[in-house]
A = this chain, B = another copy of it.
Amino acid sequence: MTMDLTFLGTGSAYPSPHRGASAVVLRTEGECWLFDCGEGTQTQLMKSQLKASRITNVFISHLHGDHLFGLPGLLCTVSLNLNPCSTQPPACVNIYGPQGLRQFLRVALELTSSELIFPYTVHELEPTTDQSPPEGQLSPEVTADSGRLHPQERPGRMIALDVSSDCYILLENKHFIVKAFRLFHRVPSFGFSVQEQDRPGRLKTELLKELGLKPGPLYGRLKAGESVTLESGQVVNPIEVMEEAIPGRKVCILGDCSSILGEGPLMACHRADILVHEATLSDEHREKAVDHGHSTPSMAAAVAQACCARRLVLYHFSQRYKPAGLHKEGDDDDVLELRRQAEKALQGTGIEVSLAEDFLTIRIPIVRLH
């Protein structure tokens, strides 16, 4: 199964002609998962190779406009462009994000008389009070929903912190486990970890034939991890006749933050193949960055190192940093300097550093350990 990550917007605070507002798509075969949806994401999607209609899950890291204002319009446009005569009933779009997201979407769709031809569900994450300064916390009367579901809205869950793992379990199926974890920002913010399940290795069919085992039900039992007894009485253990397991990949995408919170992020992101972390300002502006709830490259590097990530990708750059291709000799703010700062902080660790740019796609290869 191929997996890749496409950045649709890498700018902070607002979309500009040079950098869209936050939006990242994780694509696996046939499905797109969207992480954040700043204003203009639908237009960035149209400019990319991705299909908006393939979006099945949306994850909103926090309720700042540059991560959210594109969501109502995106859903409307996906609906307009779906074939209403399709024989297959459209799948439900699952939307995960902080408490208050349900009411935001409901009011935006309801007041604009936006009909959708597919169902959607909002699952809300309950933040803890230490995820932001007190003034960043929304009062219950603000986050409370109206009680009037949109005609296409299906009731969603309220997901509380799982104290033992210090994270939020969002979904688990035979391919993936997705968790959220807590970050500190001006408003409660979350990161997401997508862990692909390990898959059993292939059967060594040549070896099985030598043992006299022909393709059939016994192959299935071996694949499922059971031992099999041959007519000769010989017991065949799965481990003897199977290739090494295919290790699941792990992709972690963090929302805006000036720090991670608790043990959850470290556990959820441990040995991530890719850790996507914001770096809004350069190390020289660390104080200002932290004041605004943001990080610098060396702060992002410290998180990557604490998680033993394989690769760190920086994004969510202040709009003062033009894309490298537009940088002119003598300009003050060079985005490449952000990469150098992270690289310097990670010297000797073997952790690779990349800068995201709008429309950059990164493949996530399977890494075999032996």
Residues of A within 8 A of B (CB): 13-17, 39-40, 42-43, 46-47, 63-66, 68-70, 72-73, 76-77, 80, 100-101, 103-104, 107-108, 110-114, 136, 138, 141-143, 148, 186-187
A16-B43, A17-B43, A104-B108 are known contacts; what are 9 more A-B pairs with Cβ within 8 Å? A13-B80, A14-B76, A40-B43, A65-B112, A68-B112, A69-B72, A100-B111, A110-B138, A111-B138
Closest Cβ–Cβ distance, residue A359 to chain B (whole Å) = 12
Q: Please report the C-alpha to C-alpha distance between residue A107 and residue B102 in the assembled complex, in whole angstroms.
A: 12
Q: Please report the C-alpha to C-alpha distance between residue A17 and residue B45 in the assembled complex, in whole angstroms.
A: 10
Q: Which of B16, B73, B104 contacts A65 (CB 8 A)?
A: B73
Provide 17 A-B residue pairs closer than 8 Å at the C-beta atoms, listed in order of the A residue: A14-B42, A14-B80, A15-B43, A15-B73, A39-B69, A39-B70, A65-B72, A65-B114, A68-B112, A69-B72, A69-B108, A100-B111, A104-B112, A110-B142, A111-B142, A113-B136, A113-B138
Specify how many copies of this chain sit in the oligomer.
Answer: 2
Give 7 nearest A-B pairs by CB, closest first: A14-B77, A39-B73, A107-B107, A65-B112, A69-B73, A104-B111, A100-B111
Closest Cβ–Cβ distance, residue A163 to chain B (whole Å) = 27
Chain B residues, Cβ within 8 Å of A186: 113
Of A13, A17, A111, which is in contact with the most chain B CB atoms at under 10 Å from its CB? A111
Q: Please report the C-alpha to C-alpha distance between residue A42 and residue B187 in the assembled complex, in whole angstroms.
A: 24
Chain B residues, Cβ within 8 Å of A80: 13-14
Q: Please report the C-alpha to C-alpha distance between residue A69 and residue B77 in the assembled complex, in whole angstroms.
A: 12
Q: Please report the C-alpha to C-alpha distance between residue A42 and residue B13 in the assembled complex, in whole angstroms.
A: 12
Beta-carbon nearest neighbor of A137 in chain B: B113
Of A14, A72, A143, which is in contact with the most chain B CB atoms at under 10 Å from its CB? A14
Beta-carbon nearest neighbor of A100 in chain B: B111
Contact (Cβ within 8 A) A14 B187:
no
Q: Which of B47, B104, B141, B148 contacts A107 (CB 8 A)?
A: B104
Q: Please report the C-alpha to C-alpha distance between residue A360 and residue B248 in the assembled complex, in whole angstroms.
A: 52
Closest Cβ–Cβ distance, residue A42 to chain B (whole Å) = 6
Chain B residues, Cβ within 8 Å of A13: 77, 80
Chain B residues, Cβ within 8 Å of A107: 103-104, 107-108
Contact (Cβ within 8 A) B111 A63:
yes
Beta-carbon nearest neighbor of A38 in chain B: B73
Chain B residues, Cβ within 8 Å of A138: 110-111, 113
Beta-carbon nearest neighbor of A99 in chain B: B111
Contact (Cβ within 8 A) A111 B143:
yes
